[in-house]
């Protein structure tokens, strides 16, 4: 049996690929998150003493990063709760799934390089055991499959 892989931050290669895509078009970022039972803060971080769950630490991330997200033009266009894996590994479960929309990838880049965001992201890193972050572009065409 293979050890489970965890994903928290982008690799250099995946981030370079992201930056190479068009920067002047709207983007949608699918976020799939699995939280730690207990948030994993560095011992010297003030929030370590709170004993927060991963979900609670992620709520703090939303509270502290939300104003920056909104300032750059980000919006949550869909949020859902996983009910059942219909196609895919039956042992995978996501605690939070949502789609964040940005007016362009430059807005996303502005957010993640903001000094206040860099302080806020420690809550995300403490909260999340593993995640997927997938960029999607808009496609014009008729409704339906195909």
**Segment 16-43, tens digit of pLDDT:** 999 999 999 999 999 999 999 999 999 8
**Segment 86-125, tens digit of pLDDT:** 999 998 899 999 999 999 999 999 999 999 999 999 999 9
Q: Please give the backbone phi and psi of residue 17, each rounded to the nearest 5 degrees, phi first.
A: -65, -40
Q: Confidence class of residue 3 from pLDDT cuts 50, 70 and 90? A: low
Mean pLDDT estimate for the chain? 93
Q: 5 CB contacts (<8 Å, ≥6 apart)?
A: 130
Is the pLDDT assigned to residue 146 strictly greater than 70? no
Per-residue pLDDT, 40: 96
Give me the domains of the chain, ranges plus CATH numbers.
25-83+93-137 (3.30.70.100)
Per-residue pLDDT, 14: 95
Q: What is the pTM of this model?
A: 0.90
Instruction: Outline where DSSP puts E strands in the chain.
Output: 27-35, 75-80, 96-102, 128-137
| SS3 of residue 4 by DSSP | coil
Per-residue pLDDT, 59: 97
Other beta carbons less than 10 A from residue 1's beta carbon: 3
Find the radius of gyration of the CA atoms of the chain. 16
């Amino acid at each position: 049996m293979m050890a489970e892989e965890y994903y928290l931050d982008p690799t250099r290669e995946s981030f370079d690929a992201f930056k190479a895509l068009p920067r002047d078009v709207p983007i949608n970022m699918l976020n799939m998150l699995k939280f730690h039972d207990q948030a994993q803060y560095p011992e010297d971080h003030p929030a370590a003493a709170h004993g927060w769950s991963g979900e609670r630490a992620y709520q703090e991330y939303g509270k502290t990063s939300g104003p920056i997200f909104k300032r750059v033009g980000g919006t949550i266009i869909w949020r859902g709760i996983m009910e059942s894996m219909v196609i895919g590994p039956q042992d995978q479960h996501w605690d939070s799934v949502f789609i964040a929309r940005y007016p362009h990838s430059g807005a996303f880049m502005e957010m993640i390089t903001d000094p206040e965001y860099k302080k806020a992201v420690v809550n995300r890193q403490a909260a999340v055991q593993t995640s997927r972050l997938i960029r999607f572009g808009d496609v014009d065409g008729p409704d339906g499959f195909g």
